[in-house]
Amino acid sequence: MDNKRSLKHHPLLNFIGSMNLAIVLLVMLAIASVIGTVLKQNEAYASYVIKFGPFWFDVFRTLELYDVYSAVWFLAVLAFLLLSISACVWRNWAHFVKDMLSYQEHTHATQLQKMALSVQGQNAQNLADFALSAEQQLKKMGFKVKTELKGEDQLLAAKKGSGHRLGYFFTHIAIIIICLGALLDSNIKFKVQELMGLVAAETRSIALTDVNPKSNIAVDNNSFRGSVNIPEGKSADVVFLTFKEGYLVQNLPFTVQVVDFRVEHYDTGMPKSFESDIILSAPELDEPIKTTIYVNKPLYYKDYAIYQSSFGDGGSQVEMRAWPLISNNTNPSVLAGEVNRIISMNTPIGDYKLELNDYKTNNIIDLPSPDVNGRKVKNLGPSVQFKVRDAQGQALEYENYLIAVDRSGAWYQASKYRRSVGEDFQFILLPLDEKQSLDRFMRFLALINDRQALDSILSQSIQQETNPDKREQLETQKRFMQQLINLFRLRGFEGIRGYLEQAVPEAGQRDQVFNQYLEIMTVALQGLYLKTLEAEGYQGDTSEVQRRFFADSIEAIDALKDYGPPMFFEITRVDHREASGLQITKSPGKDVVYFGSLLLVIGTFLLFYVRPQRLWLLLQPRQDTGTAFIFAGKDGKDDKMLKPVFDHITQQLQQAPATMQGDKT
């Protein structure tokens, strides 16, 4: 017996099973979990480098903070915690069970008298009758009673609420079960396999057949959570699992075909519902399964679950016109491409790769104030997202809208762009002419780009001048205007201001000079604009609309300085192909976790709402005056809870004429 004791109470076991350790571990777990909520998890490493800089990026990476919930140390803390709970249960289970089953019928009179709730008295009835009525009374109050004979005396030992201890077991074992279930569903085995060199993440965007064999996971893998985008009409028998900096390809023992994908929108433009009609075929099925899945209603097949989780582009066909922006001609080239494909462009000014990334059917933006109809959002219509990559591999991101956008009564072609991932998107609005086309703007721009055209326009007034000195002056002015316009074209208003900072030392004068320059430039540009309108057949005075067009054009040209590669891609037509975003999971641990959860709930209720209470009634016969009794009680750790019941029973026990002797309540 001594050996058994020392094993159960070994100091190491005591330490591991101690509540203080558990608390420390839980606090560590809580802090680690919080870190994971504040630091966005599982993002591309590139964005972390941008956010934190190379030094801290490396520090956080070593600490595994980008995937903290699978970090080795996090799992170690969790494992330790489980060990701790197990040790606690191991240490306590035997004597808890004993306690649950025991009536503690060997308690002595002196112990009863020492209890906080304890009363002594007498009852006129004889012992046998009294014992019977007392037992009935106790049973009526929900107690289980055991009678123990001690010579002439009788002890009724009563207990209630033994289930309470069960609550302790259930809750703690439940935590262990839940964690084990979660372990079954985690990707730890991939991590282990990676360490062993059996598995490696694939990072390239390539065809399935070219994928690194180490990134290919066999069908018999027991648990995973992956996603796949299947274009309408196509099918897939793999899903992709994010892993470290890349992905793994999980092979499935069945094929899922998306027959039709539908998305419905609310009148606000937000998605209302999206669903897929799918066919699941597998060798063991006589008839393939045909069903419709939508959000909140997955398809369950054997151990697998197929969810409708998102949707995307399934290779929409895009037709564009590429307008040259720094040329003096306006011949746009026609391009055709597909979303998720790359178009190579060889232009006189360099080689570019146009990557079409996505086609969105709706773009809802919040309006700063409600419009005429009282709506607070506006739908800008469909857009195409793409990147233009130069020969050095640097990419600029764009999003061009198909439908003209109106702002304060005029119509524009809108384009969003940004030069790098770290920046915000900027908008550029190219004004549209009365025919809602980009023609006029592009011709105007071409004229500005055309040095000879500018030269000839500006020279016109010079040729009319006869005075040679004046001519000289006008020539100088002409060259100055050309330079100004050039500067404006390349670097916008900012460029002019930059030039002024060097040219005009006096800060106070700069604004004045800037305004003068602006006036000069505007005159020249107006000349070019009028020429543009002439070419369209407009003569005479310009209309309000046309004047506005001019102002908008200047603004747009100013914005072009940051626009990047010298082309504007006007999206002329999109043939929308949708792809259904499915998530397919296999989680053997799910039912384990659910079982553990049930145990946890039952255990919690037992712990809080079932109180372990004990009552003892020691009866001693008195020859002359019936029975003397000692009545005592205990409630878990809080006798106060038992007091009302105790007092009530005490009253009942004293029903027949009795004399109270000693009261220790």
Partner 1 sequence: MNAGYIEHPTMLQSLLSVRGLLWSALIIFAAWLGWHHYGELMDPNDRSYEIGILIGATLGVIAFGLAWKSMQTLLSFVLVMTFIGIYTYSSHGDSYKAQETAFFLKFLFSSQSAIMWMNVLFVFAMVTYFFALWRDSSFAGKVATGLTWSAVAFGLTGMGVRWRESYLINPDYGHIPVSNLYEVFILFAIITAVLYLYYEQKIRSRALGGFVLMVISAAVVFILWYTFGRDAAEIQPLVPALKSYWMKIHVPANFVGYGTFALAAMIAIPYLWRDRIEKRGDMDNPWLNRLPTLDAMEDVMYKAIAFGFAFFTIATILGAMWAAEAWGGYWSWDPKETWALIVWLNYAAWLHFRMSKGWGGARMAWWSIIGLLITTFAFLGVNMFLSGLHSYGTL
Summarize as ranges the residues that interact with partner 1 (CB under 8 A).
Answer: 19, 23, 26, 29-30, 33-34, 36-38, 40-41, 69, 182, 185, 225, 227, 266-268, 270-274, 294-298, 305, 307, 309, 376, 583-585, 587, 590, 593-594, 597, 600-601, 604-605, 607-608, 637, 640, 643-645, 647-648
Count of alpha carbons within 13 Å of 42, Cβ hemisphere only?
A: 9
Smallest distance from partner 1 to CB 610, Å = 12
Amino acid at 516: Q
Rounded Cα distance between 331 and 354, Å, is 19
Quote the least distance from Cβ 156 to partner 1, whole Å: 19
Comparing CB distances to partner 1, the nearer of 630 and 645 is 645
- Shortest Å, Cβ 369 to partner 1: 11
Least distance (Å) from partner 1 to the CB of residue 167? 10
Number of CB atoms found within 10 A of residue 18's CB: 15
Looking at the Cβ atoms of 271 and 381, the one nearer to partner 1 is 271
- The Cα 419–Cα 356 span in angstroms is 16
- CB-nearer residue toward partner 1: 41 or 461: 41
Among the listed residues 464, 522, 207, the one whose alpha carbon sits nearest the alpha carbon of residue 340: 207
Angstrom distance (rounded) from CA 483 to CA 561: 16
CB of 516 to partner 1, least distance (A): 46
Q: Which is nearer to partner 1, 205 or 296 (CB)?
A: 296
Q: Which of 439, 436, 384 is nearest to 411 (CA)?
A: 436
Whole-number minimum distance, CB 22 to partner 1, in Å? 9
- Give CA–CA dist 540/230, Å, rounded: 58
Q: Could you give phi then psi for residue 221, rounded to 5 degrees?
A: -60, 130
For residue 176 the two structure tokens come to: 């262990």
Residue closer to partner 1 by CB (options 340, 587) is 587
Report how far residue 325's alpha carbon sits from residue 319's, in angstroms, rounded to the nearest whole number: 19
Report in angstroms how near the CB of residue 228 gets to partner 1 at its nearest: 12
Nearer to partner 1, 23 or 132 (CB): 23
Q: State the nearest-atom distance from the C-beta of 205 to partner 1, in Å.
A: 23
Which of helix, strand or coil describes residue 661?
Answer: coil
CA 602 to chain centre: 31
CA gap 589, 185 in Å, rounded:
5
SS3 content of the chain, % helix, strand, coil (to 5): 45, 30, 25
Quick one: 40 or 108, whose CB is closer to partner 1? 40
Rounded Cα distance, 366 and 376, in Å: 6
Cβ contacts of 21 within 8 Å, gap of 6 or more: 15, 84
Is residue 577 a contact partner of residue 315, using CB atoms and an 8 Å limit? Answer: yes
CB 574 → partner 1: shortest distance, Å?
A: 24
State the minimum distance, in angstroms, from the CB of residue 201 to partner 1: 20
Q: Which is nearer to partner 1, 161 or 315 (CB)?
A: 161
Phi, psi of 14 (to 5 degrees): -60, -45
Is the torsion defined by CA of 472, 473, 476, 481 positive or negative?
Answer: negative
Cβ 262 to partner 1, closest distance in Å? 12
Q: Is 311 in contact with 261 (CB distance < 8 Å)?
A: yes
Find tokens 């997955």 and name the residue.
298
Paired tokens of 253:
């023992």
- We find the least distance from the C-beta atom of residue 59 to partner 1, in angstroms, to be 21
Burial class (CB in 10 A: 0-12, 13-18, 19+), 130: buried
Q: Which residue, 74 or 401, is less far from partner 1 as judged by CB?
A: 74
User: Smaller CB distance to partner 1: residue 283 or 644?
Assistant: 644
Contact (CB, 8 A) for 137 and 652: yes
Contact 574, 382 (CB under 8 A): yes
